């Protein structure tokens, strides 16, 4: 089972901004649509006029919508039977933000349970453009709708179906596509990576390229510094805490 996800948010900061709408469409292994989940979410803070214009979502709509705390378990339950989560730019934005929202609700998003496919990663590495351009490039479709989550999730699926057709000689199954998207990735923020030997190493600072087991003091510093919740969870794993 594969689920395509998209979030509309108060901004682009995965640590401080909030989800205002989520759209998820679930497909079986033959890419037949099985189900969908859509909800506006009250972020608890006002949204800017720019966000209203981009999304077409109004402040009054959000004021009358559920808070994330009341639907987060519904989101996780909807995803529970999927093995792959896909979408556009989810590795750098949607998933880290969802992880943070789970953390605020005293829950842990089970990243280890899923494989991830990012149509943005495929597209940027293969063609280097955005979702609207990807839709035009792979499917010959121009998207004229507002940026609502469920439409963008569906557009991500259309882009992915076009990518499957275009790169069928490159990829033989979903596992290969997921591996292509994530490659050396460890955490979503990219503070760690796997080197050519498969060893997890630091990917920044004075320790770049060094095995994470070589500096537990630095890992403990990271736990108390301004890093994403997902990165900190990896620090705890490396420290066996």
Q: Which of 16, 13, 3 is nearest to 150 (CA)?
A: 3
Any idea what the Cα angle at residue 171 is, between residues 165 and 177, rounded to 5°?
Answer: 100
Output the pLDDT for position 12.
84
Structure-token match 């682009």, residue found:
12
- β pairing state of 19-27 and 2-9: antiparallel
Q: Which residue has the tokens 């997921």?
A: 178
Burial of 92 per CB tally in 10 Å (0-12, 13-18, 19+): middle
* pLDDT less than 70: residues of the chain: 128, 144-146, 241
* Domains annotated on the chain, with CATH: 2-183 (3.30.420.10), 187-241 (no CATH)
- Is-contact 26 78, C-beta < 8 A? yes
For residue 164, the model assigns a pLDDT of 95
Cα separation values, 19 from 78, 113, 224, Å: 17, 22, 25
Q: What is the pLDDT of residue 14?
A: 87
User: Is the separation of the CB atoms in 169 and 176 below 8 Å?
Assistant: no
DSSP 8-state class, residue 34: E
pLDDT of residue 109: 95
Look at residue 125 in the predicted model and tell me its pLDDT. 85
The torsion angles phi and psi of 219, rounded to 5 degrees, stand at -60, -40
H/E element, 148: none
């Amino acid at each position: 089972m594969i689920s395509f996800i998209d979030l509309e948010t108060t901004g682009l900061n995965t640590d401080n901004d909030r989800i205002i709408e989520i759209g998820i469409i679930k497909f079986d292994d033959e890419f037949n649509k099985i189900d969908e989940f859509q909800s506006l979410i009250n972020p608890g803070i006002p949204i800017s006029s720019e966000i209203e214009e981009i999304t077409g979502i109004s402040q009054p709509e959000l004021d009358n919508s559920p808070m994330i705390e009341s639907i987060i378990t519904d989101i996780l339950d909807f995803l529970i039977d999927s093995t792959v989560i896909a979408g556009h730019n989810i590795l750098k934005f949607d998933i880290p933000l969802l992880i943070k929202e789970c953390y605020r609700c005293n829950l842990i998003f089970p990243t280890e349970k899923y494989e991830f496919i990012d149509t943005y990663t495929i597209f940027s590495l293969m063609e280097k453009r955005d979702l609207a351009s990807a839709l035009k490039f792979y499917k010959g479709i121009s998207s004229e709708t507002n940026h609502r989550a469920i439409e963008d999730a569906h557009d991500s699926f259309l882009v992915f179906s076009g990518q499957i057709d275009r790169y069928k000689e490159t990829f033989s199954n979903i596992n290969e596509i997921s591996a292509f998207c994530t490659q050396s990735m460890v955490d979503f923020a990219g503070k760690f990576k796997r080197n050519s030997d498969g060893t997890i190493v630091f990917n920044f600072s004075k320790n770049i390229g060094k095995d994470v087991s070589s500096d537990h003091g630095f890992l403990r510093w990271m736990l108390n510094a301004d890093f994403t919740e997902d990165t900190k969870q990896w620090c705890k794993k490396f420290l066996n805490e």
